[in-house]
Amino acid sequence: MSSLVAKRLCRGHNSALSECDAEAKRLFDTLDAAARLDDERREKHPSEWANAVVTHRISGRRVERWLLKTLINMTVGGPLPIGDPASEPGVVEPSLVEVAFGKANFVAPRGLYGGALVGEKVDGAREWEFQVLVGDDRSYASGLLARLRSIRFGLSLIPHRLPRVIEHIEDWKGTHLLQPFNGFNRNLGPIPSQR
């Protein structure tokens, strides 16, 4: 019986988060489409496409929740508390569970950030990587850095503002963090691309 309940809960949890997975897929598909469009346009004179704008809308809130789900999956049951240094090791701060399931929202400065590295070439490589952030004293999981097709995002679980520029993580040195997206607009779109 307990195994049946566990399977049902897992199915229910996965179902509750499926909209976030779908939005992450839309984000990847949109980035793929933008890369293909860029390749096509490089073959043409700008006058052939300069006035053709393609708009894509992505839900920043759902991408934020998807990154939180990813962070939780990477760290649950591990050696560090997740989000709150006072929690037990490997245990998620309860308010984060509420955010993950869309029952609550992050309060800025916690939440989704954009990242930009001056001079970096966005090459559209079909790759993604994640790096768990730990608090200053290395006592808890405090966020996640994500690079999706060369586009940088950060998810902060700390209650104070992140530094404007990341300097202490090798692959992210010099990355400028944009305002927490939840502080001004939860929709990542429109993402304009010229057609």
DSSP letters spanning 87-127: SPTT-B-HHHHHHHTTSS---TTSEEEEEEETT------S-
Q: How confident is the model at residue 96, as a pLDDT?
A: 95
Percent of the chain with pLDDT over 70: 83
3-state secondary structure of 172: helix
Q: How confident is the model at residue 190, as a pLDDT?
A: 44
Of 117, 120, 121, 68, whose CA–CA distance to 97 is shortest?
68
> For residue 170, is pLDDT > 80?
yes
- Mean pLDDT of the region 134-155: 88
Q: How confident is the model at residue 38, as a pLDDT?
A: 86
Domain that holds residue 70: 2-194
Domain count for the chain, please give it. 1
> For residue 5, is pLDDT > 60?
no
Write the single-letter amino acid at 75.
T
Q: How many CB atoms lie within 10 A of CB 162?
A: 17
Phi and psi at 167, nearest 5°, equal -125, -15
Q: Can the peptide bond before residue 109 be classed as cis, meaning omega within 30 degrees of 0?
A: yes
Percent of the chain with pLDDT over 90: 41
